[in-house]
């Protein structure tokens, strides 16, 4: 069905990584026809249990599901670049702040422009036709579909003598084009925008920009004016910091270029030996590498442990678990090891000739 294209696998949803959610939605969108065909074959098969499950999944793959799938692909696609950048080990916080503003602007334009919504609606109709899914959502242009219900709804008597702020009698139907936009499309956009503005408020963005001034590879490294808001947020002494930053910068300038720290983590590790001389700078550096937005590397350790310590390896000892976790987390360094040297070191350590080492 998809000759000449790369193999795509369905992704398992993750509660912490938005990139996995976008990959899962994009895979279902691009391979929806194959999923429908596979479920149809399972439904017609001899396995009764699989047939029942396939029939229930086919019933869920309706036009509403396709519409929501395209909406989520559009939204998660806007935030994909931001998610990848914030999870980078060498993230530039000043560039991340600029990207946050760009993503918020794109989502606001996506919400306000009706042309974008109409494109999503047309794409959903086209995808349903390609996959053989019946289109059950109606269009207001159809006079039969746009006809109001014959039964009139009345407000509850409990609301008498009350000031009602929302519509309780006549609500738009979510199965129509206008109703889907008002009930589903707009609330999803508003919720995402409110969450982005809450998590990345102006004060938070100022702190992120100040954290970048502590990075040796930044253009604003050592600029006291950029670090003032960060220092004020954590009650640091700005006057002492104004003396510590230039001195630490001169220390780095005297180092050889190949040994000079290039990341925030390496800079904090370097000034750890001078923490008595630079107490305020060292404290702010430790806070910078411990903030949640910069702990993606630590979160990968927990994700790796979930795959390593399964119910099959439940009785693994702690020393062996630490060794296996280190090999799994530092996968890049593990693959760069010379296996011949590892085998020679193991043979020299055990000195057991009965072990056949290849």
Question: In this structure, are residues 296 and 87 in contact, taking their beta carbons and an 8 Å threshold?
Answer: yes
Picking from 97, 91, 94, the residue whose alpha carbon sits closest to that of residue 264 is: 91
Q: What is the pLDDT of residues 246-305, one digit of tens each?
A: 888 888 888 888 888 888 888 888 888 888 888 888 888 888 877 755 555 666 677 778
**What is the pLDDT confidence band of residue 209, given thresholds at 50, 70 and 90?**
confident
User: CB burial class (10 A; 0-12, 13-18, 19+) of residue 284?
Assistant: buried
| Weakest-pLDDT range from 157-161, 184-188, 243-247, 351-355 | 351-355
% of the chain beyond a pLDDT of 70: 85
Domain ranges of the chain: 18-141+174-199, 221-292, 296-350
Question: In this structure, are residues 328 and 307 in contact, taking their beta carbons and an 8 Å threshold?
Answer: yes
pLDDT of residue 300: 67
Tokens describing residue 244: 């510590």
pLDDT of residue 52: 92
């Amino acid at each position: 069905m998809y000759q000449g294209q790369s193999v795509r696998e369905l992704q398992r949803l993750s509660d912490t990584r938005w990139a996995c959610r976008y990959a899962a939605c994009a895979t279902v969108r691009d391979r929806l026809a194959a999923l429908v065909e596979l479920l149809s074959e399972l439904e017609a098969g001899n396995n009764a249990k699989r047939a029942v499950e396939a029939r229930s999944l086919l019933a869920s793959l309706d036009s509403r599901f396709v519409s929501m799938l395209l909406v989520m692909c559009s939204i998660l696609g806007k935030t994909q670049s931001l998610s990848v950048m914030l999870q980078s080990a060498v993230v530039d916080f000043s560039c991340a702040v600029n990207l946050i503003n760009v993503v918020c602007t794109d989502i606001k334009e996506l919400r306000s422009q009706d042309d974008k919504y109409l494109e999503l609606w047309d794409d959903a109709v086209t995808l349903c036709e390609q996959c053989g899914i019946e289109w059950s959502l109606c269009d207001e242009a159809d006079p039969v579909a746009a006809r109001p219900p014959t039964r009139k709804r009345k407000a509850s008597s409990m609301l008498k003598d009350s000031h009602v702020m929302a519509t309780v009698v006549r609500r738009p139907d979510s199965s129509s084009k206008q109703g889907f936009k008002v009930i589903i499309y707009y609330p999803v956009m508003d919720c995402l925008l409110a969450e982005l503005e809450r998590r990345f408020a102006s004060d938070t963005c100022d702190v992120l920009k100040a954290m970048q001034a502590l990075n040796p590879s930044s253009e604003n490294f050592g600029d006291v004016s950029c670090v003032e808001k960060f220092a004020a947020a954590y009650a640091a002494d700005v006057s002492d910091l104004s003396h510590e930053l230039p001195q630490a910068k001169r220390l780095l300038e005297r180092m050889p270029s190949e040994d000079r720290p290039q990341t925030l983590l390496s800079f904090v590790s370097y000034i750890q030996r001078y923490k008595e001389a630079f107490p305020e700078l060292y404290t702010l550096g430790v806070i910078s590498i411990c903030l949640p937005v910069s702990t993606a590397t630590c979160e990968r350790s927990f994700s790796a442990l979930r795959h390593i310590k399964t119910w099959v390896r439940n009785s693994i000892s702690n020393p062996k678990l630490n060794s296996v976790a280190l090999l799994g987390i530092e996968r890049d360094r593990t693959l760069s090891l010379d296996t011949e040297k590892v085998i020679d070191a193991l043979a020299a350590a055990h000195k057991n000739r009965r072990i056949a080492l290849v």
